[in-house]
Structure formats: C-alpha cells, structure tokens
Structure 1
Amino acid sequence: MQFGNFNFFWFLFFFSILGFSQNLEDQIYDATDIFIAKPSVSGLEILRNKENQFVSEVNTKEEQLALVILSCNKAFYEKKFNQINNAIKSYEFAWKNYSVNNLANYDIIEYCLKPLAHLYTITGNYTLAENTIKSYLFLAEKEGNSFQKTAAILNLSVVYHNTGNHKMAASILEKELQNKNISTKQRADLENNLAVNYIALKKYDDASSLLTLNKDDYQSIKNKAFISLQKGNSVLARSEFEKAKNLFFQNENNTARDIANFYIDEASLFLKLNNNVLAKQSYTNALKSLLPFLKQNILPEKSNIYGETAFINIFDGLAFLEKSTTRKLAFYDLSFHASSLINENLVSQESQILQQVEDRKRTEKCIDILWKEYEKEKSSLLLKMAFKYAENSKNTVLKERNNQKTLLQRFPNNKDLKLQNVLLSKQESLINEYVRLQITHDNPTKIVKLNDDLTTLSIELKEVNERINKTFKKNEDFSLSLDTLEVKLEKDKAQMLYYFWGKDCFYSFYFNHNKIHWERIALDKKNIDILQKFIHYFDDSNAINNDVLAFSSTAFSLFNLLNLKQLEQHKTLVIIPDGILHFISFDALVTHKSETTTFSKIPFLLFQNKMAYQTNAAFYIQNNTSKKNNKIAGFFPVFKNTNAFLEYSIDEAKVLEKNNAVLFMNKNANRMNFKKNTTQYSILHLSTHGTSGSFTTPATLVFYDDVMLVNELYGLENCNPDLVILSACETGVGKLQKGEGSISIARAFQYAGAKNILFSLWKINDYATAEIMTNFYTNYFNNHSFFESNYNSKKDYLQNESISNAKKSPYYWSAFVYYGVIDTPKTSYLYYLLLGLITCIVLFLIYGRFTRFLKRKEI
C-alpha cells in the first residue's frame, strides 16, 4: 500500500454513508482509502469511474494532489492484478498531473516514476523508460536524495542492458559503486547488475570477483551458475541454479512476470546444457505463469496475449525447440503479435527501430525455415510466405509514418490526426534540440528540461494514437497482395529484384512475367570479399582508374553473385536492396567479361537495363506520382571563399535559372529559408555538403549558416514534394539498421513525405555532379519524367566526347540512385499536332499537283 489509512477512517466512512457533505479533496482520499481496505478487480472498476468523475471537478492544488495519489494507488493495484497497460496509463496520468500543476509534498519518484519506468522497461518501451529514469535522476540530484539517485542508476543500467548497450551499463554502475554513501542492499544490487553486464561482455573473471561478495542473494547465485557454465563446469552450474531457484521461490511476493522470467532463465541454462526436454518444460512453465488457464501443448489465442517482453522470449524459445515447421512458424507468429502490441505504445523512431531489430532477427529465422522446406518441395506457397515475411520486416517505421500521412490526407479535418501530425513534428524538433545540446555539451539544465518535455509529449502522443487506433482499425502487418504487385509490374513493363539480407546469407526474389524465382546466396568469405572489394572501389576517385580491368572483373563477379544473369535485357528493372546492398550502385555492375579500359565501351548494366530503386514493395505499388506542378526551388550555399567551396554548383544553378526555378543562393541558402519553402515547390534541389554521420552523431545536411540534423528533417510539416534531389555527398549513406535500412538524409526526406528522391552513395565529384545534374534537367524539361531523366543523365555523361576517359569512371557518374516511381515521359501533343498539320499540307500539295497533272493530260 502506498497511501496509509486516515485516522478515524471508519468514522469518516460511516458518516460519508450517512450523506455528510465533504469537500472534494476528502472525497478523493476517502475513495482511495476505501479501495485500499479491500482491493479487487471489481473495486478497480468502481475506482476508475470515481476518478473520471473527480477529473472534471478538481480545481485546487490540494485536490489535484489527492487525484495524483488516487491514480498512483490505482496503478499499483492494476499492476498487481496484471493490468499492465492500465497501470501505465494511470502512472502517466499521475505524472502529467503532478508536473503540469507543479505539485509537491508527495514522493513522486517512489510511488510513480520508478514503477512507471519499470513498466516501460518490461513492455519494451526503452526510450520512454530511459527518459523517465533520467527525469527522476535529476529530481533526486536536485533534492539531494542519494537513495533515489542510486536507484535511478540501477534502473538505467537495466535499460541499457536490455538494449544491448552493456558497456554504457557497466560504465554507470562502476561509477556509482565509487559512492561510499550507498546502502549495503543497493551496493549488492549494483554489483549484481554489473556482474550481469560483465558476463555479457565476456569478462567472466571480473563478474566472478563481484559475485563472491553476495553469497546468499539468489540473483548473485543465479549469475554464478551462468559463469560456471561459461567456464565449462556444467555440474556446478546446475547445482548453483537449483540453489538460486529454492531461494527465489521462498519469496511470496514474486509476481507472475517474475516467475515467468525466472523460468526463462532456467530454459536458457538448459539450452546451453543441450537439454532441450527440460528447456521446453521451463518455457512451458513460464507461459503457464502468465496464462495459468492454458492447457498443455495448446497454442494460446492471440486475444490472450498482451504487450510483454516475456511472451516474446517464451514463444521464440518454444519455436526454436519445435520440430514441426507449422508449429515453429505458429510460435514465431505469436512473438510477432506480442511485439506488435508493444509497438503500439512506442511513439519515438528510436524505440520503434529497436523493436524492429528483434523482429528482423525472427523474420530471418522464419525465412530460413521456409527455405529448407522449399528446397525439398519447391512449393510456390512457401516462396510466397517467405516473401511476405521479408516484406513485413522492411521499413516498418517508414511505412507507419507513410500510413499516418495518407490517413491525414484522406481525413484532413480529423482533430486527432491533425494533432498527431503536430505532436510528431514537435517531438522530432525536441529530439533535434536535445541531440544538438548533447553534441555541444551546452546547457545541461536545458537538456533536463527537454527530457521532461519529451516525456510529457510522448505521453500525450500515446493518448492520441490510442484514440486514432480505435477510430481507424490498425493493421497488424503491412502485407500486400502479390497479385497487386504483379499487376503493377506489368503496367510498368518492369521486372523486380527484391533482396533480404541475413546474418549468414541473403535471399533474392526475382519477379518477371507473373513468375517468381527465389535464390539463397551464402555470405561466405569469398562472396563477402567480392561485395567489400566492389564497394571500396568507390572510396576515392583513383581506385578504379588505377586498375580498370581489375574493377571490371570485380563488377562482373558481383553481377553474377547477385543473380543478375536472369534479368530480361532492355526491360525496366526495379531494385529493392537490403543490408549493405543499399550502398551498391547497380548501374556500375558489368554484364560480361570485358578487356577494354574505355569506360564508355564497358558493358555496364546501365546500358542493358533502366533502373529504379525502392525501399520496399508496398511503396513501389503505392507510388503513382502525378506531378502537381513544375515549380522548382534550388538551394545553393556555394560556400565561396571557404575550404568547402562548391565551384561547379554554380553551373547547376544556371541550368535551373534557365527554367524559371526559384534560387536561394549563397547566404539565402540558409536553414530557415529552406524550412519555410519546403511546402511550396514540386521539386526541391539541394546542392550542398552532406555527411553520413556515425554511431555517435547523426547524418547532417549543410546550409550556408548552419547544419540540419536528420531529426529536424523528420519534423518538417506538410513536406510532400514530388521529387527531392540531393546533390550532395553521402546523402544516401548512414548507420545501417536491420529492416529500416540506412538512417540517412535521403531516408529523412522519405520520412518527412518526399514521394521520389535522387541521392548520392559516396563523396561525389563537384564537376561530375554539375554535368550529371545539367543532363538531368535538360532531359526533364523535355520529357517530364524523373525516371527517364535519371537514366539519360548518366548515359549522356558517358557519351559526352568532351569528357576525358578518366572522368568517365563509374566513380563520377554512378553515385546517384533514384528511388521512386517509374513515370513515363509526357506525350507532347503539340508535336503530333504540328506533325499532323505538316502531313496535311504535304498531302494537299501532292493532291493539287496530281489534279493539275490530270487536267493537263485531259487537254
């Protein structure tokens, strides 16, 4: 119980029944205390109804505080009765109420923020967990509360551990252990958590030395068991784990989730001991602790599953142990379902991408299972199932944002959809500010304020999302009809190569003439060497020119490795890359052996097939761009008189100027001008510098006065140009995230709403870029096709006799890749009108001459 009984409780209760009038504050406290005296599920429902009534009536700070205390107590028992989502909502409501109204005189850390962060952690909402813990860490430091500060460090280490950031977890734990004022119990907890992270980092001796300090703690003994196992002493490991188990079950306060997680650890131990029978029993026991009504060997109904990370661990474990392919996939599908329920409560890209990483690993396992069956049966059904798994795992964050924007376009007056769009934009703006401050290490107080603002905004966004999901049914996956895909390909007169990148292999799906061909390509040393060698040829401008024949040989080897021999020649090719294939320009692959060093004569794939890329099959099907106008805005900071001077960028600007584009040159190509003008133009052209970022810093786009981080681009409101051209270095390069692809500047524009995009894969040459862009616009203003213009710009570059052979290396012309619709050139009806008119005149003249000839003949 978090709120003690009032003095004279029964006295007050008796007189309240008699109808004595009370003030609202007392009514709230009484309702809370009555429930605490006899908590039950039915009592929770009564308390909820009372809370809803009180919400509309409270005015004073005293009444607001009473309501916060009611909400925290309600959340405590909702968690106890396994109503996890309700508990999270109650704690969120309490925290929002407490912070917005600047309340005091209540231990908000102990009774609200700590349990809320814990619930975020167990439901996989790690970003909100981290933000919430940092909020009460700051409060604890501000109040000089050493106990809560240490508690915050402990809980933060759990978040870092669960997200795989073991080094960070170990670092903050090591630092806190230097604090001499922490209690004996907290020191033991810190040492246990540190030992767990040392085990993950394979520092077994360091972990052992810590665990000897806590002999009677079940966590410590359990950790010792896993260290013994790592050192090869399976007998000791088993003995230690049994001792830990006995100690664990002596605690009568263990929740169903605590018990489930202990059995999951036990199953993990048995798996490492190669005892699959006992491992399966442990997973079954874990499942029964969460679903006690479940019968033996019966798959649970999806309706009984809720968003809980323990379910995912259980179902993944049972799937691994199953022999039947059908049951394996059924268990994995239950994991996907539990993951999707968790994902519904995630409101930041970072947390959604983290969740997607685990889904992607599971997807790979499912596809591997189906491949083994496919090798035996060659069943088209298995192939289609594998493709569905692959597609469902691709770009789920981008797809979700695209769905949100599409829904807003269909229902522009829906208040919740409009609010969602505003909040998402504001969230990215806050994250952008937060990241910039972290990079510069400026104003730590403001960082704390931004963290609190992000937490409050996230809670509001969750509420809005829930209302939207109730109004508009949310699909669990992004599955598409293969029939629809085949119809689209036929319409575009195209073929498709679709890749799925795994740990030990990658798969290709080839679509052509309503047929699908599925291949598995091993990622052995030989194949990895070919891929890496080809990519490294584009590290600098001299690598290819230094040995053209060696490059041609590598490019041909990669052509074969990627199964491109099967392509139908001179037919449009749609490529959906994955993994490091995102960084390969397929244009530069070579279709057959060549001994020439003249680049325009090398048989590049560019000469055989026109190519367009897409991030996933769903986007390819949906993208039917009809251009709203031809208004172009060009941003050219140029950076004259600096080391960053883009001399040939001026030539690009001149081409646009001839075609009535609006140009923002030099100091006018600033960050604010760009943000103001993203909604007004059909084509946005950015000729500037860009960076791909690193593991610690995000990708950036450089303007005259400032840089723009990807997060700021994410937050651009109502940005839906027909085309964005990123005439800058490495705009398609960024940190690779499983499933989501490259977290690059190009992806940021896709997230913001760009329909089609043209961007670079490496540090491009200024002169060659100007030539390519000049060719692109010359073609575009003739045919009004993005797709055709991109293809012709490269072909024209190679066929330009004024350009030297050295400058025709693929390094110079193949960096740009086009992700977008296959739009056909616009028909020039004026041309046909003139042609028809000329034909008529010619026929009239011929007819006149012929009739005069006949008349002369008659005479």
Structure 2
Amino acid sequence: MQGSACWLLLACVLCYHASSGSPEPQQPTVLQLYRKADKLFRLPDPTAYTDKEALATFQLIIDQLESRRGFSDTCLFQSYLKKGILLDIGENYQAAKQAYLRATQVKRLNPAWSDSLLYLPNVYTGSAYYHLNNFDSASYFLQHAEALIRLFPRIQEKERLYNALGALHFENGNYLLSRNYFTLALEVLYKEPASDAFAAIPFENNIAISLFKLGMYREALQIYQKLVARRVFSDQIYLNMGKTLFALREPNKALVNFRKVNPRKVPGLFNEMALAHLELGKVDSAWFFLGQFDRSNNTGYIDRGVNKVYKARTLLAGQQYNQALPLLQEAVILFSGRFTDKDIYANPDNFIGAFASYRLFDALLRKAETLELLYKTDRNPRWLKAALATYNSTMSLSNYIEKSYDTDDAKLLLKKNNRDLYRNALNTCLLLHTLHPRSGYLKQAYLITQRNKASVVLAGLQQRTYKERGGIDPALLRRERNIKYNIARLNLKNELDIDKEILQLNARNKMHFEIELSQVQKNIEKNSTYYKLKYDNTFPSVEAIQQTLKGQQAVISFFEAGNSLHLFVIKSASFSHRQIDSFPLLRQQVQAWVKQLHSSEKGKKFNYSGASVIYELLVKPLQSLAGDKDHWIIVPDGILAFLPFESLPSGKLNLPLLESVEISYALSSQFLIPAASSKVVRSAYSVLAFAPFAGKGESGQQRSLLLQQLPASEVEIATLKGSRYINQAATKTRFIEEANRYPVIHLATHAIYNPQNSAASFVAFYPQGPMPEQDRLYLEELYSLALDSTELMIVSACETGNGELVTGEGVMSLTRGFAYAGCRSVINSLWKADDDATSEILQQFHKYLKDGDTKSKALQKAKLDYLHGDALYKSPDYWSHLVLVGSSEALVEERGISKVMLIVATGLGILLLCYLYLKKKKKSAGLHER
C-alpha cells in the first residue's frame, strides 16, 4: 500500500465506489457507454477484470466528449471522477490525481453547477497527494473539502474526508488530533443506515494506531484483537498487532503475527521484520528482510524512507557510520517532499509554509546523532560542525511542528517526546566551544537551552498579541475563544464526573471542539501577517538580553542535561558558563531541602545537614559567576523550579541568600525582552483584593469546601487602596468581571494542587453556588482569561507554584496559568505556609511597592522585615514560600522628589535666574544713565 508505511488504512476507505447522481448526457451513444461503465463500477463484488473494463469504458466516454472542444457536462465530470477512483484502487495514484484534477476543472467550467460537486474530487485529490508523499498539496485539497462541509452540511461521505485528515495529522505527529478525526469518521459512519462492521474496520484500525503512538499499547491491542476476529484487512491488522506486541516487549508473539502477513500485499512488512530482528540482536536476519523489501514491487515513498532509516540503524549497530549517513540523507529527502540535496552536509533549513512531517524530524535527529558518532571515531571537527548544523535544522523543525499544533495537550506531548534533542545539541555545541573558544559557540549553546523553555506559554501570549493587531475577522477570534472555553469546561467535567456514560459523552464533545478549533485556527492562519509572525523562528541573543539588564542584575539560567547541570550567567558586560557534573548528588540534596521546607512544623527547628553540600555544589559557583551583582533573575530547569533560592545558605554566618541577594524568577529568558521594553509609570497604587475565607466559618463554607478559615487574610488586604471583597462578596463571578481592570490583584485565599492532574488544580472563592466547582477558578479556565492589563498577581494561597513538571515547559502550576493569561508577574506560594507569616510579609510588600521599590526589592525587604522582626518562627519554611515570577519592574514612581516636582523645581530655578539677570541688567542700565 503506497505511502502508508503499512500502518494506516487510508486507501481501503477510498476504494468504496462513490454514489454521485445521474448524468446529463447529450448523445445516446455516450449514455449507453456511461450506463455500461457505471454498472461495472457499482458491482457489489468487483474483480480486477471488471474494474479494468469499467476504466476502459470511462476512458472511451472521456475521449468522445473531450474531442468536442469546449464541451462538458456532468457525464464528463462523473467519468473523470470514477476513472480516478478506479485508478486509486489499482494504486496508480499519479494518474488518479490527474483524473480528479480534470474533474475539478470540468466543474469550474460550469459555475452554475453546485459547488458541492467539488467535495469528492477534493477529498480524493488530497488522498492521492498523501500517497504520493506530497503532504502540502494533500493538506490544501483536504482543507478545501472540509470547508465545503461547512457550506453543505448534509453532504455525503464525510467519513472519507475525516479519515484522510486523520492520516495527515498522523504524519504530522499530532496523534491526539489524528485519533479525533479517525473517531469522528467512525461516528459519522455509524450514523448511516447502511453502515456495517466491514466499513468500520479501517477507522478502528487507525484509531488503534494513534493509541499506539500515544503509548497506549494495551488499548491498541484490545482493538486489534477484536478486528482480527472479523477476518478482513487481516494483513494490515496483523502487522500493526505485531508492532504493538513488540512495544510491549513480547518479541516472539510479535514475530508470530508478522508471519501471518502477506508481503506481496504489504511489502512494508519486511521493514518491520528487519527492525524486530535487529532489536533482538539478529543483524544477519535484519539484513535479509531489508533486502527482501528491495526486491518487492509496489513500494511507496514512506515505506522506502523507513527502509533507508532501518538500514542505517542496522549499519550503526555495526559501527558503520560512514555508510549509514547517505542512507539517512536519502530518508530526509523522501520524508521532506521538497528537499533534494544528496550532500550529507546539507539540511532543509526553511519549513515555513511546508507540511511538517514527524518522520522527517526522526530522520534528521538520527542523522545528527550519527555525525556525532563519527566525530567520536576519528575526532575530525567537521563531523561535529555538521552535527550541530543538523541539530539546528531539527530544532527549527520541532519548533515549527509545535506551533502547527492546535491544542496545548498536543504540544506538551511533543515536548515530552523531544527531550533528548536539546540535550544532545547542547553537548555538541559545548564540545565545539572547547575546540574553538572564540567562535561564538558558547552563546549558541545558551540559545539552545532557551529555545524549548516555556515555549507553549510564550507562543500562547505571542499569538494573542499578534491577533490583536487587526486584520483577522473578529467573529473568527470570538469563535476560537468560545471553543477553547468549551474545551476547558469539558476537561473540568472529566475531573468531576464519575459516570462512565457521561465521561464518554464528554470525550465525544471534546473531540468535536478540538477538531473545530483546528479548523478555526487554519482559517486564522490565512492572514499572511499573522502566519509570518506565528511561525517566526528567531530568539533573543545574549546581546539583546544584556541590553535589557540594569547595573546590578544578572540572569542565571539552568539546564539539566542527564548527569550534568549547566549554569549560564548573563551580566550587562559579560557572559559565562559553568558545568556541574555532580548533578545526581545535587539533585538529591535539593529534593531533600525542598521536602524539609514543606514538612516543617511550629516548634520544630529547621536543620538540614546537607546545607553545606548545597552551598558547595550550587551556591558557591553562582556567587562566583554573579560576582558583585545582587539581583539574580533565575531561569530554573527541572527540579530547581521547586526551589526558593533565597532560602539557601549564603556561606556567611549561617545567613540565607535573602540577606545579600534580591531574587526573581523567569519562565524563560525570552520573557525578559517584553518585560524590559514596557515601562509602567503610575503615581497611584490601586489593588483588586479578595479574601473569601476571612470570617469565622459559616455553614455554607463548611458544606461546600472543607477548607480552613484564614482570619489573617482580612488584615492582609485591609489597608490596600482600590477594591476589596471579603467573605460573601469575594466570589468567582466578581473576580472574572473585574480582574482585568486593575494593575495589581491580590488573592488571599486557598489554592488546591491536584497531584494526579494539574488541570484540576484551582483557586477557591467564596462558596455560593449549589456545586463546589462553580466557585473554583481552575487552571484550565485561567488559560482562557484575558489578564493582559494585570502587572502583578499576588496569590498568597497554598501551593500556587506546585504542579506537574513537564520537561522543557516547566511546572504546570496555577502560576503558569496566570502567566498564560497575560499577567506580567506573579507572587505565588510554593507550599502550604503559615497564614500569619504570609499576611505580615505581604502587608510590608505592598508598603514597599507603594514607596516605588521594584517588585523583587520590595519582596526582599518584606521578608527581611519579618526575619529581623519579633516573629516567633523565622525558619525558611515560614518566609521563603513566596516567590516572584516575571517582571521585577516597579509599579509606581519612587517616593521623594517625583519627576513632576523636578520639572516644577527646574522651572522655578530658571525663572529665578531670569529675574536676577533682568534685575542686574536694569541696575546696570541705571548706572550708565547717571
């Protein structure tokens, strides 16, 4: 089966004969021929002979009608369409494509005909291009067909289109969306009165393949076992079942299934047999099956590309790196569709406007790794440079693929699958820096560490900004917002509902919304300005970051790379790097330190014996690299995202770093550029504050939420100027109505972190609805809020900084949700902290902000006041839970002589000088007269 890598059953669905209405022939001879051909075309049990005769008859009709110049009717249109379908069945996709395109031309020559006639030619043309490995054109025609469904909702055979779109998204690596489309195809099929189990098999098979790619092997296997019993499409199903069993580490069972496949029907079987034997260590057997594929007929582009990759892997197993490289280059060419350079040093470098193939990503990554292995063999730097160039191409493709995905779920899954790419690229770049220390490789290494950090949040914020620049239909943007809201709502319902039928209904509804979201975003991308901005692949350089830094600031960025931790420090006039190779020990000590912070109790002394180890391994190198800079902007990675650095020992008299350094945090250094370019000038300090649990506890509160009262929370916000809502007035509805009207928001309430699912984490407001979830602001809801007018969000609740750690993206916390919504900075709590201590610190924090201090300096001062005051408990677990993430800029002008006062004083001074000058001049003139 050409173009399918023996995985997806696409052609099987496209083989069903189309029903297309009666033609309007102009001559009896043509009518007789058409009736004969159509009768053969519609046979319930066609054979190769009957299909061949039907094809010849349709061609005869076409020849007769085309000989009349300028003549066309629906008979000609239908003949081209059905000719294409018959060629499709014979897997002659090139000729089929030409027939479909000609059918489309015939329709366009007759504008009076309904545009609904274009639906099937578009579906079939897109499918033919898919098999021909031309995914750009496939996407173009399939999207046109999808648009026709919106114009003609009662159009027939939608399942064909949805199956083809599922296959296309599968090639893109978006397995979540591909599963949605395959499921929708099955759903449409089951709604048809004449549907049967036979027709459903291709869709069910394709759903199982998507589950396989999502790592859901058991679920996929269950589907295959059900399908095998039907004894239809057995070759493809046994092949896929074998792949699944191999992934489940059952190689013998996998081979049993492979042996049931007919290789003449599915030549890609030989590739999978070869891979199975290779992974079992049977290299000779692997070569045998790879050779069998070469001798096969009717192999497709993708199958041939897979064969090149598997041959390269077999050569790599024997350390034959030079021989593997040309094969990987051929695979890159096959999977790219537009790149044709056979030079092993060449790579595709521009993906804008192209179909993003995940197979291409895999081939490029293997090529880069092979070039690295070649360097280790002969130490020739050219291999290392070529490896870095290939890694750069792979990272650009990864970034492009991520931006092409429509949902954050799909993007985060991609990041989890790509975790090795950036680590390998960094190691290569640092090795080149060692060989050529003055060639700029160290700065390139830093950019590699930043390209993947918090990229999903950043893209969400950037795309929101781009959409606001105009030129995009407001109705489309409203539709997009509504769809995202509905997806978030369904995600929440899935966390709250336990009824199986309701969960299934929620899943179906979510599937429809995600597909609709994909359609809407494709329409938005038709705006060329937005498209160019969205897929821009530039990143701020070290020099650009240096220009944003003030005198005492230093950016300290971390990157975990296996057993090593990399530190990059940027100061206004310098850039440096340090590698900590004892990271496993440091990770263990950091985890123990964080655990101690979370578990301390009143009256229990905070005493961690590993403090000296953390100081030597982490703090001391930081102090050395930062030098005299006393404002650290920390960009954490991995486990360090849970660590409040200000709590760490400074090495001086058992004092914490808080005493000597002001600290703020950033999700990525890319966030520093917009933060530094926006100047906030305010003379007034206005706050929107909520304290829903400030009372003594009413029955409604206790019934709805088993949360403790926070009596200190009322005191915490009592002196703030602006709008304050306490107890019954502090509702979720009020928050959503007023949130984006104030520069500062203070939520003195509870936050609940769900360790099983970060999406179910929430901030609690006063309970007034009949259902508890109505009074909770969930993480999923935060993503759809617009808080771009909010300069600072203060969430003194417990655990707002906690959540699932996703490699490359950071912590899936409520803090991230507020940043995603547009807040430029957030004060959050890393663990459940003491209510009184939190209240005292934040009261002082507001005081210093009103005085004109920067946010980071105000927080440092407030914590020091607590530490040096008369509080009974002063261990780090009482004060270090509050951290600042985002912009550290001041919110108001510094108190004292304001700019206005300076201007007035300057003006008065000038007037005084003028007065004295004129007085002196007048006096001089009087003396002259006398």
Same fold (TM over 0.5): yes
Deviations along 1:770-790, whole A, 9 cap, x unmatched? 222222223323336433322
- Is residue 625–residue 755 contact of structure 1 (8 Å, CA) maintained in 2? no
Q: Please name the residue that 1:614 is paired with.
A: 666
- How many angstroms does 1:52 deviate by? 7.4
Structure 2 CA distance for partners of 1:150 and 1:13, relative to 1, 3 Å: same
Deviations along 1:580-637, whole A, 9 cap, x unmatched? 111110010101165xxxxxxx410011111111112221121035166643222333
- How many angstroms does 1:715 deviate by? 1.0
| 1:626 aligns with one of 668, 680, 683 | 680
Q: Please name the residue that 1:160 is paired with.
A: 211
| 2:220 aligns with one of 147, 150, 172 | 172
- How many angstroms does 1:357 deviate by? 4.1
Structure 2 CA distance for partners of 1:823 and 1:453, relative to 1, 3 Å: closer
Structure 2 CA distance for partners of 1:520 and 1:118, relative to 1, 3 Å: same
Structure 2 residue 863 is the aligned partner of structure 1 residue 794: yes
Q: Please name the residue that 1:845 is paired with.
A: none
Deviations along 1:745-782, whole A, 9 cap, x unmatched? 11111111111111122223333222222222233233
- Is residue 652–residue 773 contact of structure 1 (8 Å, CA) maintained in 2? no
Structure 2 CA distance for partners of 1:501 and 1:478, relative to 1, 3 Å: farther
- How many angstroms does 1:508 deviate by? 0.7
Q: Please name the residue that 1:367 is paired with.
A: 426
Q: Please name the residue that 1:447 is paired with.
A: 507
Aligned residues: 808
Structure 2 CA distance for partners of 1:548 and 1:469, relative to 1, 3 Å: same
Structure 2 residue 874 is the aligned partner of structure 1 residue 813: no
Q: Following superposition of structure 1 onto structure 2, how do residues 338-353 of structure 1 map, counting pairs within 5 Å?
A: 338-353=397-412
Distance 2:901 2:691 in 1: 39
Q: Please name the residue that 1:318 is paired with.
A: 367
| 1:274 aligns with one of 319, 338, 344 | 319
Q: What letter corresponds to residue 880 of structure 2 in structure 1?
A: S
Q: Please name the residue that 2:625 is paired with.
A: 566
Distance 2:757 2:201 in 1: 26
Structure 2 CA distance for partners of 1:199 and 1:534, relative to 1, 3 Å: farther
| Worse overlay, 41-50 or 77-86 | 41-50
- How many angstroms does 1:794 deviate by? 1.2
Deviations along 1:460-505, whole A, 9 cap, x unmatched? 212212424567455542311322211221x353112111222232
- Is residue 551–residue 572 contact of structure 2 (8 Å, CA) maintained in 1? no
Q: Please name the residue that 2:139 is paired with.
A: 88
| 2:569 aligns with one of 501, 510, 514 | 510
- How many angstroms does 1:132 deviate by? 0.8
Structure 2 CA distance for partners of 1:379 and 1:636, relative to 1, 3 Å: same
Q: What letter corresponds to residue 118 of structure 2 in structure 1?
A: L
Q: Please name the residue that 2:471 is paired with.
A: 414
Q: What letter corresponds to residue 730 of structure 1 in structure 2?
A: E
Distance 1:786 1:725 in 2: 11
Distance 2:452 2:843 in 1: 38
- Structure 1 residue matching 2:801: 3-state secondary structure: coil
Q: Following superposition of structure 1 onto structure 2, how do residues 372-521 of structure 1 map, counting pairs within 5 Å?
A: 372-379=431-438, 381-409=440-468, 411=469, 413-416=470-473, 418=474, 421-439=477-495, 440-442=497-499, 443=502, 444-469=504-529, 472-474=532-534, 476-489=536-549, 491=550, 493-521=552-580
- Is residue 790–residue 822 contact of structure 2 (8 Å, CA) maintained in 1? yes
- How many angstroms does 1:44 deviate by? 7.4
Q: Following superposition of structure 1 onto structure 2, how do residues 621-770 of structure 1 map, counting pairs within 5 Å?
A: 621-623=673-675, 624-626=678-680, 630-638=685-693, 640-641=697-698, 649-694=710-755, 696=757, 698-703=759-764, 704=767, 705-706=772-773, 707-717=776-786, 719-770=788-839
Listed as ranges, the gaps of 5+ residues in structure 1 are 595-601, 841-859
Distance 1:647 1:219 in 2: 62
- Structure 2 residue matching 1:500: 3-state secondary structure: strand
Q: Please name the residue that 2:27 is paired with.
A: none
Q: Please name the residue that 2:917 is paired with.
A: none
Distance 1:797 1:441 in 2: 46
- How many angstroms does 1:30 deviate by? 6.6
Q: What letter corresponds to residue 368 of structure 1 in structure 2?
A: N
Structure 2 CA distance for partners of 1:30 and 1:229, relative to 1, 3 Å: closer
| 2:243 aligns with one of 196, 205, 208 | 196
Q: Following superposition of structure 1 onto structure 2, how do residues 105-120 of structure 1 map, counting pairs within 5 Å?
A: 105-106=156-157, 108-109=158-159, 111-120=160-169
Structure 2 CA distance for partners of 1:307 and 1:632, relative to 1, 3 Å: same
Structure 2 CA distance for partners of 1:717 and 1:528, relative to 1, 3 Å: closer
Distance 1:266 1:695 in 2: 42
Distance 2:112 2:755 in 1: 51
Deviations along 1:434-470, whole A, 9 cap, x unmatched? 3233332453335323312320231121221242456
Deviations along 1:299-350, whole A, 9 cap, x unmatched? 1453587522222222222222223122111222222333344345322122
Deviations along 1:112-157, whole A, 9 cap, x unmatched? 2222211111122223212112212333455564335443343233
Q: Please name the residue that 2:30 is paired with.
A: none
| Identical columns (%) | 18
- How many angstroms does 1:87 deviate by? 1.3
Distance 1:487 1:522 in 2: 31
- Structure 2 residue matching 1:649: 3-state secondary structure: coil
Q: Please name the residue that 1:540 is paired with.
A: 599
Q: What letter corresponds to residue 299 of structure 1 in structure 2?
A: A
Q: Please name the residue that 1:854 is paired with.
A: none
Distance 1:302 1:809 in 2: 53
TM-score, with length taken from structure 1: 0.84
- Structure 2 residue matching 1:302: 3-state secondary structure: coil
Structure 2 CA distance for partners of 1:762 and 1:419, relative to 1, 3 Å: farther
Q: Please name the residue that 2:390 is paired with.
A: 331
Distance 2:820 2:480 in 1: 11
- Is residue 497–residue 575 contact of structure 1 (8 Å, CA) maintained in 2? yes
Q: Please name the residue that 2:39 is paired with.
A: none
Distance 2:784 2:582 in 1: 38
Distance 1:579 1:259 in 2: 39
Structure 2 CA distance for partners of 1:655 and 1:474, relative to 1, 3 Å: closer
- Is residue 268–residue 293 contact of structure 2 (8 Å, CA) maintained in 1? no
- Is residue 117–residue 133 contact of structure 1 (8 Å, CA) maintained in 2? yes
| 1:243 aligns with one of 260, 278, 289 | 289
Structure 2 residue 120 is the aligned partner of structure 1 residue 69: yes
Structure 2 CA distance for partners of 1:203 and 1:767, relative to 1, 3 Å: farther
Q: What letter corresponds to residue 631 of structure 1 in structure 2?
A: S
Distance 1:53 1:357 in 2: 50
- Is residue 565–residue 583 contact of structure 2 (8 Å, CA) maintained in 1? no
- Structure 2 residue matching 1:379: 3-state secondary structure: coil
Q: Please name the residue that 1:146 is paired with.
A: 197
- Is residue 619–residue 649 contact of structure 2 (8 Å, CA) maintained in 1? no
Structure 2 residue 632 is the aligned partner of structure 1 residue 605: no
Structure 2 residue 308 is the aligned partner of structure 1 residue 263: yes
Q: What letter corresponds to residue 791 of structure 2 in structure 1?
A: D
Listed as ranges, the gaps of 5+ residues in structure 2 are 1-13, 24-32, 35-57, 88-93, 376-382, 909-930
- Structure 2 residue matching 1:550: 3-state secondary structure: coil
Q: Please name the residue that 2:44 is paired with.
A: none
Q: What letter corresponds to residue 302 of structure 1 in structure 2?
A: D
